[in-house]
Amino acid sequence: MTDKPKKDVDIARKIWLAGIGAYGRAVGDATEAYAKMGRETTKIFDDLVGKGAELENQVATAAKAYVPEFAEKQRAQVEDRMERMKAALGMSEVAADQQENIERIEDRLDALEKKIDAILAAVSKPKAAPRRRASKSTAAKK
């Protein structure tokens, strides 16, 4: 019976060592996998940067050809909208001629207002009381 406790201790120790070995193997595998993943990640990142640079060049090339045409089209559309808005608000070239007529009429109205104000001022002034002539009787007394 003395062999059994020794065997139990040996089995427990072997289980313990197997657990530590499994843990060490897992750590080693994880470390190796992490290092490999780091190398792979760097390679994947570099590949993505290269692809991004390639796409950026393609977009820049396409933009050089397309943007001026697009910008001109947009500018023409904006100018067209502005002309329609000016016409709707009475600010087109025809309206500019009408604006000159309106300004002339306003000038004439201002002149008429000044004349009317002058006439009203003259009419509303209080008249001086007429001088009385000295009556004959008052003149004879003196």
pLDDT, one tens digit per residue, over 76-104 is 888 888 888 877 776 666 666 777 888 89
Instruction: Please give the sequence-ordered ranges of beta strands (E in DSSP) within the chain, or none if there are none.
Output: none
What is the model's pLDDT at position 109? 93
For residue 26, which phi and psi values (nearest 5 degrees)? -60, -45
What is the spatial distance between Cα 138 and Cα 142, in angstroms, rounded to a whole number? 7
Average pLDDT value for the chain? 78
What is the model's pLDDT at position 84? 83
The pLDDT-based confidence of 136 (bands split at 50, 70, 90) is: low
